[in-house]
Amino acid sequence: MKSNNFPYIIQALLAALFFGISAPLSKLLLGDVNPIFLAAFLYLGSGSGIALIKFAQPSKGKEAGIRKTDIKWLAGAIISGGIAAPIILMLSLEKTPASSASLLLNFEGAATTLIAMLVFREAISRRAWSAILVITLASIIISTNFESGWGLSLGALGVLLATTLWGVDNNFTRNISGKDPLSIVAWKGLVAGIFSFFLALSLGEQIPPLVSILWTLLLGWISYGLSTFLFIRSMRGLGAARTSALYGTSPLAGVLLSIVIFSEMPTIAFVFATLLMLGGAYLLVNEEHQHTHIHTALLHEHGHGHDDPAHGHDLATAAHAGEHQHLAEEHEHDHMPDIHHRHEHDEKSSKQD
C-alpha cells in the first residue's frame, strides 16, 4: 500500500487494538453480567459514548448526513452486527477459552472479504486472496478440538457465526461509509443496545450490579464505539475487504490480555495460528493495486478535505460535505476500493499484487 493509504492503515490497526481487548474483558464480566445484558450494555456504551462525542464536537457541514436511501443499509448493519452477532458471541464465550475466542474473531476479516467479493463485487488481488486463505486456515486450526477428534467445539462455531454476521454488517456499513461515522456508530449502538436490553428483561434475566454495568458501558465505548468509528473511516480509503483483513490483527491484543488475566498458556497450534495471522496481515499491508480504469459519471455525497485533488478544490476551500458530481474519466494509478474506486475489473488489464 502506498503512503497516502497510511492514515487508513493506522485507523484500521487502532480499531483492531480497541476491539481486540473486548473478548477477554467481556469474559471477565460474564461472571457478573448475563450474556444478553452484556451485549446490551456494550452497545449502549458504544452508542451513548459516541453520541456524546458528536454533540460535544458537532461536525455540521463537514460530514454527510444519513438519508432515507441509507436506512436499509443501516438497518441491516444493526440487525446483523448490532443485535445477532454480539448476543451469539456472549453466549459462545461461556463455552470458549478467552484466548481462542480472541483469535477466532479474526475470521471476521475473511468473512467480510468473501461477502465483499461475492455479493458486492469488490476487487480482490492475488495477494489479498493469499491473505484471506492464510487467515482462514489459522481460524480453522484454532477452532478445531484436537482432544476429541476433528470436530469443532460448539463455542468455537458460535464465535465463527458471530464473525460472519459482523462480516455482513461490515459490508452493509461499507455502502454508507461516506456518511458521518459518528452518526452511524451512535445509531447502531443505541438501537442494538436498547433491543438487547428489553430482550434480556423479557427473558426474566436479572439486571447486573451498577459497578458491572458501568465497566461494561466503558468497555463498549472503547471496544465497540471508537473501534467501529475508526473502522468506518478506514473503509473510506481501503474498502471493506482490506480494512477487515488489517482488522484481523485484533486477536493479538486479546490473546496477550487473556494470558495475563486468565493464565491461558498458548498451545503449539495456537502459536502456529498466530504466526499465520501475522503473515496474512503483512500481505495486506504491502499490497499494491494499479491498472487502467474508468470512472463513470458519479453523483454522491460525503465529507472531503480541501487538499483532495479528486474534488477539484483549491487549498483555500475548507473541509466540507455536500452532494457533488464527478465527471467520467479514464486513467491509471495506484488505488484501493475506496468510495471513488468501486468499479468492475478486467483481469487482463489489471496490475495487482
Mean pLDDT by 10 residues, the chain (353 residues): 73 89 86 90 95 79 77 93 90 80 76 84 78 78 60 80 92 86 92 95 93 96 94 84 76 76 76 84 66 46 47 48 48 44 44 48
For 303, phi then psi, to 5°, come to: -75, 140
Cell numbers representing residue 189 in the block: 449502538
Structure confidence by residue, pLDDT tens digits, 121-152? 777 778 878 887 887 788 777 666 666 544 56
Give Cβ neighbours of residue 136 (< 8 Å, ≥ 6 apart). Answer: 107, 110
Which candidate, 7, 4, 8, 3, places its Cα nearest to that of 242? Answer: 8
pLDDT for the residue 60:
59
Which candidate, 144, 150, 154, places its Cα nearest to that of 94? Answer: 154
Taking the C-alpha atoms of residue 175 and residue 70, their distance in angstroms, rounded to an integer, is 8
Q: Are 1 and 338 in contact (CB under 8 A)?
A: no
Structure confidence by residue, pLDDT tens digits, 305-347? 544 545 454 444 445 444 545 444 554 434 445 444 344 544 4
Q: Are 77 and 172 in contact (CB under 8 A)?
A: yes
Cα distances (Å, whole numbers) of residue 73 to 53, 81, 162, 170, 348: 23, 12, 19, 10, 33
Q: Are 103 and 329 in contact (CB under 8 A)?
A: no
